[in-house]
Structures are given as structure tokens and as C-alpha cells.
Amino acid sequence: MIHHLRHTPWERPETRPAMANTDDLRPGLALTSRSLLRDGRPWIPVTGELHYSRVPRSRWRDALLLMRAGGVTLVSTYVFWIHHQERREREPVFDDGLDLAAFVRLARDTGLEVILRIGPWCHGEVRGGGLPDWVTAAGYAPRTDDPAYLEDVRAWFGHLGRQVGPLCGPDGPVIGIQLDNELYDQPGHLRTLKDVTRSCGLSAPLWTATAWGGADLPDGDVFPLYGGYGDGFWVDTGEGWDDSFRAHYFFSHQWDDPGIGRDLAGSPAAPAARQPGFPPATCELGGGMASAYHRRPLLSGADVAAVALAKLGSGSAWQGYYMYAGGANPRPGLQESQATGYPNDLPVLDYDFNAPIGAHLQTRDAFHLLRAQHAFLAAFGDRLATMNAVIAADPAPPALPDGSAPSGGSVPSGVRDRGSLRWAVRSDGRSGFVFVNAHQPYEPLPDHRDVRFDVELAEARVRFPHRPVTIPSGAFLWWPVNLDVAGVTIAWATLSPLTVLDVPGGDPVLVLAGTGGVPGCLAVPAGHRVSGHPVREHGGELVLEDLPASRSAVTVEAPSGERLRLLVLDEAEALRAWTPTVGGLRRLVLSDADIVEDGGTLLAVTAGGPTTVEVYPPLAVSGGYEGDARFERHEVGEPPEPVPVSIVRVGEASAPPVRPVTVPGRASAPDPETFLAHAAHYTITVPARTAGARSLLRVELVGDVAVASVGGRVQDLFWNGAPWDIDITPARNGEPVEVEVMIYPLGPGTPVWLPPEAEEIRRSLTGPAARIVSATVIDRRPVRLPS
């Protein structure tokens, strides 16, 4: 089946708002109705959310370096008022883990710019949305222009201004400020907040606001940002997978999502049209999802990455993730709960979010899958930002040159259509990228057989591949069309471009990633010369068929003499690919270790034993390399020693009582007294660990709610079937670690929604279960590579 799309020029002329152009100028930064610009070049930033007040200060730097290694360029953070000032009569606290200015400076020092989401109402599953209790109980109307409320906000913002105002100037790292959050019907109040913020010494070139839920935003005063989650806890236990989540696995020009947080917003408003003066942009693509007691989604890495790709293919000019790095509340009692007027019970402490980077700096599948997309943006984002998105929805495409009828884009009939191919093209009329998504959670999409694309650009028409391929279920990919790389034209490829490497004294290298089950083919126009792989002439093109994942260099030379080498990675290798810049050169690093650039050298953070680190161009490169790509190889890590772990059950669980449901459709978490009365109690003993390593105890368990205590540190969990990582990092050498774990039992009839794998376990239960299945130790150690 041939799928056809025709390039469509932008509907409106490009315009420039006052924001970042005449107002709040920042040297080198500009904004148009189509994209952001950096030093005059179109730019697609990548934002990752990390809450400084939910991550120990001792781990800020490691977290920020890891975010940058994942391709994040901006770190965003909520500033929760309640975390800093629980009581009116006390001055806000800005020390230790609440030192906002230190966090912003550290972000700058690690190469990241900052978006401050200052609220004052933030949400983030925090009690009162982050407003202190004395604000919500003050008797005035919060989140309005009530003078008494604004007086308190002005005092709070004044404190923020004294802390980070000096970091908001033209040379500062603060590039954006978000006003309030999910404020749907107060455009005048957002203007007021902007004025108050400025008067308190805070400013930024970009002023943002969340735009979902049909939000009425002041035109031109704030940059509307959107979101997209693959699943969420804000629907009732029995609702299943809501259509508002399904929609994000399609390419679409609809950016508003009426579903996000709708349990607080009330009845969803009709989706609002996007403001044409700003490009489509996001701040909350779900990097995972929090677990509420009644509903506990567990999104896979592919679930997260497929949404991100769908937004890129739909025209996103800014990729922003919530959360990108998880954490924990700084103290008990700060969480959203039914007892404090919310419809959901959240864990008292846990805010891991199953994010790409976990609360203990574990990297997950989402981190690696997203890193590939971010490498693509780092190399090709300046071009992608100029490309209009056309989505497969043409009702009557023209006949093909040979007279055959195209499929018309296999237009999906709605968000429950699983049979139509989901695809889009972003192009500037000369070149472009085909985006395809064949993945969604819970309800797998089918294989799409005999697929070919017919992409009609303003300057060329590309019909590819030369033979039909099957797009396998679960795939998501981006394939180039008529793409110029270093003077060489890639007519098309069934490989996704990751990055381009400049090699001193040698030819540039285009790194491409294959998709499992799809033959990796690439075509160049006739007149090019190819060495290192056989070619087949087809329709005026030279086709390189079935390119293997190999270190053997394939070289393409354009008629003008420019040369380009091709390096193909298979799907598994692409997940091991890192693209740090060291010594002024972008490198390709292949490793199972986490690879972080720090101070001009590379750190490999290993877990679970020895591994290899392969670097190209080599760190010691002094000249060009011809022929095969010569990777510099390092062996890092040590063979793991078995860690004997003792698990002793010291208290049996008892059958839990049936608890009343106070919020229809949403059960409540057990209160502390009920939990203690019915929980099983285990003691896990781990031999002494070595200080300097980050040590985790990975526990497999079955139960409803769990709490662990390690040396006075407490973690909690609403079980959803995933392994539970407990931080057992020692403060010093030589002492064994004791972990006390209490598990409240899960019964066959416990009224909570569980992910499919956890639900299978529950269905097998014949009675209440609260048990530990296994516990293993994981030590993560950094190793600095020689430069």
C-alpha cells in the first residue's frame, strides 16, 4: 500500500511577538510564530522537570549532569511555596535542599538553562497546590486579583527576587518563568502576576503558562505550553484507558488536552484553538506517571517515547517532560490527599514518577529511548524547526505518476482506530522527515505490511522504499527524505538519523539507527558514488540495500566531491548510544554504562559488573581516520561479588478491614494506624557497602502499600508490580545495613486499578498477600575515562 502526503506551506506568514524580541531581551535568543531561535538559528529546546526540593542537595549535580547526558538543554522546576514557608510568622527558608539560587547556579555550571515555575499555585501533587495552609485558610480568594492575596504573593515573590533575581539578567541562566499552573479562566490575573513578578526583580525572555483544558490565556503575554500523558491517575478506578490518553499516540494538530488534571478542573472545556502567534510547544509530556492509591499506571519506556515522537511529528517546537527526574517530598504531610480536600491519595513521600531518571538516579528505558530522539534534535533540530507538519489526513490525494491510486494517508477514523497507519511528514518543501508511530500501551497496534510512502515536496517527489516493507507493531521511527548532510543528498532511508560526527582530518559521519524487522536501506541520487557496499540502480537512484549494523565504513561521494561516511547501528545498539561533546567534538559512545561528560572528560557510571565503553572519534584523536570507524575501547567496572542478603519476616500480615469509600470511584489509602495493625514486617540485612558507590536494594514484592526505613530515612510505595529500589547508600564504610520493610496486604478485592502484569498477580491470589519475593543489591560506581 502506498501512503501519500503532499507538502503544505505554512498557513500564515512568520511573525515575531514582542516576547523575547522587544521585551525582556536576551542576547542570542529570539522567538517567532514558528520556532525559537538561538544565535539566529532555529532551535528546538528539550526541557526536563526536576524538583530541587524533592532531590537531596548532594545529588543535584549528578542529576543535572545525567539530564544533560540524556539530551536535555533546559531544566524546569516548580518552586513550592509550602516547602519554603509553612508558617506566615516565619521567614521563608532557602538553605540546604531549599537553596534555590544554589540550584540555579549549579544548573548553569553544568551547562543547563532554567525554567522557574513559580506558581504561586503549582500543583505537582502537593498539598494546596504548593500554597501554604495559612494562604488557603486566609479568607481571601487565592489565584485571583484579590488585593489581600496579591499582597502575600508580592511578599513571597519578593523573597524569590532577592534569591534569584540576580540570575535572571541578560547573562543569567533563567530563560523562562511560568506563571501559576492550570489556571483556566483568569487571563487578567496572569497579567497581574507577570507585573508583580517583574516588580519583585524576576524576569525572563520567555513567560509561559499551561494552555490545556481550554485555558483562556492573555494573548501575547504568555507563551502557551501543552502536555500529553500516556496514562494518568486522575481518572476513576473503573474507567479504563481514557480516550484523552489514547489521543496522544496519534499525530494531530490538536494541541489542547481537556483531560489533564480534569478531576480538579471539573467538566472538561472544549479544546481551545492554539494562539497563532506562538509555535506549538510542550512542557508536560509525561516522562512517566505518579501512582495514586486508587489508580497506579506504569508506563513503559516505549509508552513515553512514542508520545514524544508523535508530538515531534505533529510539529512541536519545544519538547518538555514532566517528570524527567523523580524524587521524594522533603518531609511527611506535604502530599495531595483526600484528607486535605483532593480526590486522590498520593504517597506520603514517594514522587519517583517512574521517570526516565528515577528518584535515586537510576536510568530507565524511557531515558535511553528519548536520548535517541534528543540526539536527533541536537543534530537536525535547526532544520526540523523550519519544517511544517502535514498529517496523514488528505481526503482525496492525486493519482500517482504511474496512474495508481494512493491510500490517501490511511486516515485514522478516531482515537480508537487501531488499524490505520499513523504517520506524518515535516518538511520545508525541499527536504523532510517521515514520522511513523505503531506503538501504544494496553492495546497493541498491528503490523502494517507492504508499506511504501509517496512524499510530494515542492521541489521533489520521493516514493520509497524501493520495495514494500512491514512496519512492525511497537515501532516508532523518523526517516529522512531528500536530506542534505555535508553536501551529500540522502534521497531516502529506512533508517532513523541519530547524529552527525565531525572527524578532524576525515569525512563527516552520519550515524543512523535501524528498526527491528525493517531492512535498513538508503538511496542517493544518480551521480553519487558509493564505496564499501553494493548498490542497485532503481528509478534514477542508487539504493544501498540491507545495510548491516557494522563498524565498516560506507562512503558516499556527491558529484561536487563532498564525502560522507555512514555508520549504522541496530535497534539495541542505538539504546547504548551516547553523544557527548568532549574537546569541542561531538562523539559517539557505545556502552551499557551511563556516560556523563564532566569537566571535559567522560564518566562511566556502571551497575552490575564490568562493561565496555567505545568512543568515536577516539578521545586521543589527532588526525583523520579513513576506512572503518576506529572506536577507542575502554574496559570499566569490576566483576560483581555476590552480595548475600538476609530476609527475615518478623511480623505476619493480617486481613485488612473493608474501608469506606469517601470519594466515589476512588478508594482511600489505609491510615497509619490501620497500616501498622495489618502490615507484614520484614528485616532485610545487607553486608557493609563501600562509601562512594550509590547502593540500591531492589525489592520484588507483592502487596498494597509498603514503607521502608533505612537509618532514619523513610521511603514509601503504592505497589504497581514494578521492582522497588530502596536507597541504602552508606554514609561511611564498614557497617552493615538494616532495612525495615512493612507491607500492607493486597487482596483479590482491593478496589484499586493495577497495570496488566500486576493485575495478573492479583487475580492469582486466593487471599490477602504481603510478601517479599526477592531482594538484590545494585552498586552504581562512577569511573573516569582517561582523556
pLDDT tens digits for 30-80? 999 999 999 999 999 999 999 999 999 999 999 999 999 999 999 999 999
Contact of 79 with 117, CB cutoff 8 Å: yes
Omega prior to 323 cis, within 30 of 0: yes
Q: Is a pLDDT exceeding 90 seen at residue 706?
A: yes
Cβ atoms within 10 A of the Cβ of 333, count? 13
* Distance from C-alpha of 128 to C-alpha of 115, rounded to nearest angstrom: 22
* Distance from C-alpha of 699 to C-alpha of 542, rounded to nearest angstrom: 54
* Distance from C-alpha of 631 to C-alpha of 551, rounded to nearest angstrom: 9
Average pLDDT over residues 589-594: 97
* Distance from C-alpha of 313 to C-alpha of 461, rounded to nearest angstrom: 19
pLDDT at 630: 85
* Distance from C-alpha of 769 to C-alpha of 194, rounded to nearest angstrom: 52
Q: Helix or strand or coil: residue 605? A: strand
Omega prior to 508 cis, within 30 of 0: no
Phi and psi for 296 in degrees, rounded to 5? -130, 70
pLDDT tens digits for 109-148? 999 999 999 999 999 999 999 999 999 999 999 999 999 9
Q: How many residues does the chain have?
A: 787
* Distance from C-alpha of 157 to C-alpha of 224, rounded to nearest angstrom: 22
* Distance from C-alpha of 558 to C-alpha of 563, rounded to nearest angstrom: 6
* Distance from C-alpha of 590 to C-alpha of 71, rounded to nearest angstrom: 15
Q: Helix or strand or coil: residue 287? A: coil
pLDDT tens digits for 634-650? 999 888 788 999 999 99
* Distance from C-alpha of 775 to C-alpha of 764, rounded to nearest angstrom: 22
* Distance from C-alpha of 348 to C-alpha of 415, rounded to nearest angstrom: 35
Instruction: Tell whether pTM > 0.75.
Output: yes
| Sign of the Cα pseudo-torsion (231, 234, 238, 242, in order) | negative
Q: 577 - beta bridge partners?
A: 590
pLDDT tens digits for 142-177? 999 999 999 999 999 999 999 999 999 999 999 999
pLDDT at 590: 97
pLDDT at 400: 41
pLDDT at 269: 65
